[in-house]
Chain A
Amino acid sequence: MPKKRAVSAKKSIASPPSAEAREHLLTVITGLSEPVIAKALAKLLVPQFQMTPADLDATLQEFVANGRLLQYPPAKTSGQPRFWDRDVATLAKPAILEALSGSAAPVTARELLPRLTVPFPIKEADLIPVLESCVRGGELHAIPPVTKAKQPRYWNHDVHELGRRFAVQILKTKGPLAKSKLQAALKGFNATEFAEIFASLQASRSIYPHPPLTKTGAVLYGDSPVAPEKYLAPVGKSLAQVVANLHEVSVSVEDLRRAVVQMVEGAGVSLGIWSAASRTAAVHAPDPATVDLIAIMCRIEPGAERGALVGAGDLRRHAGLPKRAFDEAALSLSREGRLSLHQHDYPASLSPDERDELVTDGLGNYYVGMALRQSRG
């Protein structure tokens, strides 16, 4: 009997887990919040459904084989494989893509972990296969590590974009640099990559050429268009000194202004409506000269002679002049005191087309209409 008992006891231990025990195992796994190793699972089984480690392993492998469970690599190098009924990749992928889309720079899997919002505690070991899968699918880019000892990084932009951003950041911090200095400052990119990055920045107008500051200097590149003030500052200083000297000997403001305008125009900067030269040119130019705005005003608005307002758009259409010529002619008549221009109070509320109808002086002032002056006050 004792032997028989012993045999039967041995038999009962050796028999495969019952259907109830297998079902119980699945129920336990379904209730887990993350993948766990077999040893940990065994502790969670109720006594009547306890299994030997071998049975448990076999059952788990069987479930993995028929797709009811998924096997995950060990959390640590020396650890055991883990099991769960859910696909970490499916659950984590949207969160990964979302976290990286808002990232200004590539990150390692470890750096990414705290940024993820997933309904289970995810481990670095589970994250890396998902990231690699996204890289293979073209959804993410693997960016080589900065040093050999470091981990690979992942991003939703490629390495060229990284280079472009670094370059702009460098220019923002250091100010305009020569091309060679920018290349030296942009570490981690070989000459070919730098050439591509530089060409791409120029094409997208993300960097702007600046004139050299010295005669022998190289062209500089900055992250914003060149501001002329810095270059004109020495001229301004000299001019201020000369103007002060001329004031002392009673040169009139009007004479000074005319001379300054001529000098500036001589240097190649047209002052447009402010320029006496261009004003004269506008008056004598063949086309605008044949157009008498005042006569047209009187023709299209019978009350104009008594001071009725004529809309800028109406007059422009009847005058048939190019926009700039028309605006300059109207402004010129206003300065001469022959007509008054009526300003729009908030031109920003108008559409570009509506603004184009108005007369503008190029200084942010827009005029809706004009009236013939009844007095020359």
Chain B
Amino acid sequence: MNPFRDSIVTSPWESPGIDVPSIHENVLTACLQGIDEVRSRGRSAGLLIHGEAGSGKTHLLRRLRARLASDAPAATDRRECLYVWVRLQTSPRMIWRTLRRTLVDDWFRPVAHGRSQFDRILFHRLAEIRVAKGDLEPWYEYMRDEDPSGLSELMEQIAEKLHLDRNTAVAFEHIAFGRHRRDLRAWLGGTSLPLAALESLNMAQDEGTDEEREHEARDVVLMLCRLAGDGLPIVLSFDQVEALQLVPDDRDALFAFGQLISTLHDGTSNTLLISSVQSSFASVLKDGARMADYARMTSSGALSLDPLRRGEGEQLIAARLAAWGKAVPAVGEAAHCWPLTPQEFDALIAGGSVSPRKLLTFCAEKFETRCRPAASESQELIAEQVSVSPTSLTISQLVRPPENRSQRVAEFLSDRWESTLEAKLAANTAESTEEIVRHGLPMLARIVAPNVKLVREDQLADVELIFECLGGRSGLSLCAQSNMKSLGNRFKRLKGQFAQSRLRRLVLLRDSRVPLSKTAKVARQDLADLEQAGAVVVHPTVEVLAAIDAIRSLLSDAISGDLNCDDSVVPPQTVSDWIEMHLAADLRQFVSHVIGDSPAPRASETSDLRDLELLNTVLADQPLIPVELAAETLQRSSADVVAFVQRHPEQIGLLGQPPTLVFRLPGTPTASP
């Protein structure tokens, strides 16, 4: 096993790996001091962290998260904290919704002893008002199981004391009793829920226009911060801020991020806002954000993650080798930097420092070569010769000739694409459709049709994306809500907006996994009216959505300096070029269809997806139906229905031999009845 191979931390929620506490200790200390400051002053603060690619930004956040994690049972007298990690791979116009969803996901995540951060909030709040003495957890379990009405009363007291709105109060009570966890998590995260689910939660959901939903997300986040209270400071860490920019020099993105920070800074009293950005993005952020917003981002200071000096580099190598646990095959001075030779180490650090990722990548390569004595002797010789002269090219450039780099990058991107796409396919749900399309489609459109501009039109509040090209404006409205009431209202508003003739073309994006319910007659009629007026309905396949998701993920990583091949970053333009060259025809066609420069998909493709939506409507009522009923619903023969179901194994399946029943796969969301 190569102890240097693992050089990228993808999330602070990863379990702590090999660490050298003295590296970047000053930055960690500043973060901890920031939390103390928030706690003691009862005022939120902002901390900005800069670092070049591979400097250890996410590693530092992981260290902070691990440091804050409580490993003891729930208690009230410990100075605990809550942690949230927001990777800003999203549209600037959805930034609050992304924060809301991420915060809720992180707070439902089990952190210690099977308890979530929401449980921690609950225990802290209960401890403030409980009348009993003794251990908190047994008391809470007793109350929940033996005296539920008593627990309810306590919850009411908390809600009253904190001035919680009705929905938050009800949600908190559900958390206390462990009820409806799945739907509760979806509601708190902002996912559109069917009416039946809302009724069982006893909560309301009114999805208005795009802007109203964003405001609602902001209010929920502020309310949840208030729920945590001053005794539980919250660390909100923002990563990949660069990825918010849908196009270079995207001022909207910087403005949105600045506003988010200012609102949290001034609208809460218990948050430490840590923004980590690449050094090359620092001046873009400083110049692009409003001065007042930047001041709040840095109210507790701005720090940089310095590249490693010689001593730190040696410590990092030593820590990795210690974890390897075998004797180092070198002695004296050479042992301090093995698997590098002292000359190689000198050359690598010739400028005074080196980034941790670069050092580890280079060590990983040398480790493999030097643990295989017979391997690439000639390359070794080159490295030895080169290292004598500090004016030469870097060693990595010579050991791996630059002319091969483009080929290696292409191979790397190909592998990365395969694994990302596979992961995105497995994780794709109807709930993520909006974020994927709003963030990923503009990126993809920029690659496929660089002349097409993304514009805003305030009068078209329900048209999330507007593409402008020579032929005019084409708008895309995301109509994939599970809540039929919200969807119906949206169709109504869209009719009015489309009638203003501000768009040459209106595309309504539906998700066949979220069918229109049988009872949503008005919504159905409004949709028909829109189609009659010229609106076009598209149903992207799961494969198309997953591919767009993979594209935005790859590009965001590249923009944020988190996509590394060998010892250097793969630039976003290289990724764009690679995607352009390898883009599947159906994806290209999807983009062209949305922006309106290609004919509509073949009727057979459209009707297949429409039929899928229709069948899902029936399966929402009865998850298992005879093939004959499906045939009657779709007005196809039974043999056709069998073939049709086999074409959509991700959503529906067949039972019996020969097949007699059609069923809906678990996880496919349903519309309200």
Contact = CB atoms under 8 A, between A and B. Distances in A.
Interface of A: 243, 253, 257, 271, 274, 303, 306-309, 311, 313-314, 331, 334-337, 340-346, 348-349, 361, 363-365, 368-369, 371, 373-377
Contacts of A314: 283
16 contacts: A257-B390, A271-B391, A308-B301, A308-B304, A309-B50, A309-B279, A314-B283, A342-B50, A342-B307, A346-B573, A363-B393, A364-B393, A371-B304, A373-B306, A375-B25, A377-B308
A314 B283 CA distance: 9
Contacts of B561: 345
Given A307-B304, A340-B306, A377-B308, A334 B353 contact: yes
Contacts of A374: 26, 306
Contacts of B351: 331, 334-335, 341, 361, 365
Contacts of B25: 375
B278 interface: yes
Interface string B2-40: 000000000000000000001101110010000000000
B52 A345 contact: yes
B101 to A, nearest CB: 29
B309 A344 contact: no
Contacts of A377: 22-23, 308-312, 315
A371 B301 CA distance: 13
A368 B279 contact: yes
Contacts of B315: 377
A345 B302 contact: no
A285 B30 CA distance: 39
B70 interface: no
Given A253-B346, A345-B568, 16 more contacts: A303-B298, A307-B301, A307-B303, A308-B298, A309-B302, A334-B351, A342-B50, A345-B571, A363-B391, A368-B280, A371-B304, A373-B309, A375-B25, A377-B22, A377-B23, A377-B308
B534 interface: no
Nearest to B573: A349
A340 B282 contact: no
A345 B570 CA distance: 8
B319 to A, nearest CB: 14
Report the 3 A-B pairs with minimum CB-CB distance, sorted nearest first: A342-B279, A346-B571, A308-B302
B311 A340 contact: no
Nearest to A371: B304
Given A345-B569, A363-B393, A368-B279, A306 B50 contact: no
A345 B282 contact: no
Contacts of A341: 307, 351-353
B274 to A, nearest CB: 14
Contacts of B286: 311
B76 interface: no
B394 interface: yes
B393 A342 contact: no
A338 to B, nearest CB: 9
B355 interface: yes
A340 B353 contact: yes
Contacts of A274: 390-391
Nearest to B286: A311
Residue among B53, B278, B351, B352 facing the most chain A CB atoms (10 A cut-off) = B352
Given A348-B571, A375-B26, A368 B353 contact: no
Contacts of B30: 306
Contacts of A308: 48, 50, 298, 301-304
Nearest to A236: B385
Interface in B143-157: none
A369 B279 contact: yes
Contacts of A363: 391, 393-394
B349 to A, nearest CB: 10
A128 B654 CA distance: 78
Nearest to B349: A335
A89 to B, nearest CB: 42
A346 B390 CA distance: 22
B162 interface: no
Interface string B572-594: 11000000000000000000000
B284 to A, nearest CB: 10
A297 to B, nearest CB: 12
A349 B571 contact: yes
A278 to B, nearest CB: 12
Contacts of B301: 303, 306-308
A266 to B, nearest CB: 16
Nearest to A374: B26
Contacts of B282: 309, 311, 368-369
Contact of B283 (A313, A373, A375): A313
B606 interface: no
Interface in B276-302: 278-280, 282-283, 286, 298, 301-302
A309 B284 CA distance: 13
B51 A342 contact: yes
A343 B569 CA distance: 11
B343 interface: yes
Contacts of A307: 26-27, 301-304, 306
Contacts of A345: 52-53, 278, 280, 561, 568-569, 571
A165 to B, nearest CB: 28
B653 interface: no
Interface string B302-339: 11101111111001000000000000000000000000
A343 B304 contact: no
B7 to A, nearest CB: 15
A365 B298 CA distance: 29
Contacts of B573: 346, 349
A373 B568 CA distance: 24
B342 interface: yes
A369 B283 contact: yes
Nearest to B394: A363
Contact of B52 (A243, A303, A336, A343): A343
Given A253-B342, A343-B355, A371 B50 contact: yes
Contacts of A346: 569, 571, 573
Nearest to B23: A377
Contacts of A368: 52, 279-280, 282-283
A344 B302 contact: no
B371 interface: no
Contacts of B283: 311, 313-314, 368-369
B388 interface: yes
A331 B350 CA distance: 10
Residue among A257, A331, A337, A343 facing the most chain B CB atoms (10 A cut-off) = A343
Contacts of B390: 257, 274
Contacts of A373: 306, 309
Nearest to A361: B351
A346 B304 CA distance: 19
Contacts of B393: 363-364
A308 B309 CA distance: 18
Nearest to A269: B391
Nearest to B358: A343
A343 B358 CA distance: 12
B52 A335 contact: no
A346 B353 CA distance: 18
A349 B568 CA distance: 14
B388 A306 contact: no
A348 to B, nearest CB: 7
A221 to B, nearest CB: 28
A339 B48 CA distance: 18
Contacts of B303: 306-308, 371
Nearest to B310: A377
B54 to A, nearest CB: 8
Residue among A307, A335, A361, A373 facing the most chain B CB atoms (10 A cut-off) = A307
Contacts of A369: 50, 279, 282-283
A306 B300 CA distance: 11
Contacts of B52: 342-345, 368
A213 B7 CA distance: 50
B561 to A, nearest CB: 5
